[in-house]
């Protein structure tokens, strides 16, 4: 006996999981972010089959076109679907890295397969963050777009996006309470106008982002960098 034992791999999906199971599991989630499976069914099946093979070895459905680091926290960013971790890049590319998922406004996914071009800096891009119906009137949601920490707010039929950090003590505005068009910080009650990020306190206004709605999706406009 060598004394060496094989390390057990903890499976994150049930034994016998199929490509159809993955489709049923992933499709509703990516739809909330403005994506769908590629229109090339054969390509989709091939990618998902590769993910199942990876799962047998590693325990999870890691993206087949990205290299794992061994750091669980970092590698969580490439577990499929990895769209939330690369919102701005994928929005600009109109697909995920391998093309398994494409934006819902793309009609022919075949043209995006195998194309991995980093978007240029300084280019504005509309980033889908949720569906219109996913945010109720008066609700606030915390979203991350790259390094941007944003509070997304719905007031009536309008949507607003502003920096999530209160300029007083950096409280999370997305945990605050909405009073009309004013978002109150949950820590000390500082009030921010969600329409322009202004507050009554001097030199404490926060940044706002343009929000557009298209095809039933709420999109925050950011500049790539």
Name the residue among 18, 216, 19, 206 with its Cα closest to residue 100. Answer: 19
Name the residue among 130, 125, 156 with its Cα closest to residue 142. Answer: 130
Is 114 a domain residue?
no
Is 117 a domain residue?
no
Copy the structure tokens of residue 119: 């978007």
| pLDDT, position 5 | 40
pLDDT digits (tens, 9 = 90+) for 4-23: 444 567 888 999 999 999 99
CA 180/CA 129 separation, integer angstroms: 23
pLDDT digits (tens, 9 = 90+) for 110-164: 999 877 776 677 889 999 999 999 999 999 999 999 999 999 999 999 999 999 9
How many alpha carbons fall within 13 Å on the CB side of residue 66? 21
Band the pLDDT of 39: cuts 50, 70, 90. Answer: very high
| pLDDT, position 121 | 75
- For residues 159 and 219, membership in a common domain is answered with yes
- Positive/negative CA dihedral, 193, 201, 172, 211: positive
pLDDT digits (tens, 9 = 90+) for 163-190: 999 999 999 999 999 999 999 999 999 9
Domain end residue (candidates: 76, 108, 140) = 108
CA 153/CA 156 separation, integer angstroms: 10
CB distance 152 to 132 below 8 Å: no
Cβ-based neighbour number of residue 178 at 10 Å: 18
Provide the number of structural domains found in the chain.
2
Strands of the 140-145 sheet, one edge to the other: 140-145, 148-155, 158-163, 208-209
Assign residue 178 the CATH number of its domain: 2.102.10.10
Name the residue among 70, 69, 49, 220 with its Cα closest to residue 145. Answer: 220
Q: Which residue has the tokens 């926290």?
A: 73
Q: Which residue has the tokens 């999370």?
A: 172
Asked if pLDDT for residue 1 goes beyond 50, the answer is no
CB distance 70 to 5 below 8 Å: no
- For residues 45 and 75, membership in a common domain is answered with yes
| pLDDT, position 91 | 95
CA 100/CA 43 separation, integer angstroms: 8
Copy the structure tokens of residue 43: 């390509």
**Domain hosting residue 184, numbered range:** 126-223
Copy the structure tokens of residue 135: 């945010």
Band the pLDDT of 47: cuts 50, 70, 90. Answer: very high
- For residues 138 and 99, membership in a common domain is answered with no
Q: Is 133 helix (H, G, I), strand (E, B) or coil?
A: helix
pLDDT digits (tens, 9 = 90+) for 62-112: 999 889 999 999 999 999 999 999 999 999 999 999 999 999 999 999 999
Is 78 a domain residue?
yes
| Single pTM value for the model | 0.87
Domain end residue (candidates: 108, 135, 164) = 108
């Amino acid at each position: 006996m060598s004394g060496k034992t094989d390390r057990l791999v903890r499976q994150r999906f049930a034994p016998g999981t199929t490509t159809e199971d993955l489709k049923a599991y992933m499709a509703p989630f990516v739809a909330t972010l403005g994506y769908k499976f590629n229109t090339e069914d054969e390509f989709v099946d091939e990618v998902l089959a590769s993910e199942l093979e990876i799962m047998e070895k590693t325990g999870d459905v890691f993206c087949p076109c990205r290299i794992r680091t061994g750091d669980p926290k970092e590698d969580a960013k490439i577990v499929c679907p990895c769209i939330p971790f690369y919102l701005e890049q994928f929005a600009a590319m109109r697909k995920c890295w391998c093309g398994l998922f494409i934006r819902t406004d793309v009609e022919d996914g075949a043209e995006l397969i195998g194309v991995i071009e980093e978007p240029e800096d300084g280019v504005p891009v509309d980033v889908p963050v949720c569906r219109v119906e996913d945010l109720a009137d008066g609700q606030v949601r915390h979203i991350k777009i790259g390094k941007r920490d944003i509070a997304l707010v719905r007031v009536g039929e309008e949507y607003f996006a502003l920096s999530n950090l209160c300029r007083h003590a950096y409280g999370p505005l997305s945990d605050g309470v909405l009073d009309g068009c004013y978002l109150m910080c949950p820590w000390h009650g500082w009030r921010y106008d969600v329409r322009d990020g202004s507050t009554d306190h001097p030199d404490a206004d926060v940044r706002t982002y343009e929000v557009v709605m298209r095809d039933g999706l709420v999109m925050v406009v950011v500049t790539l960098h």
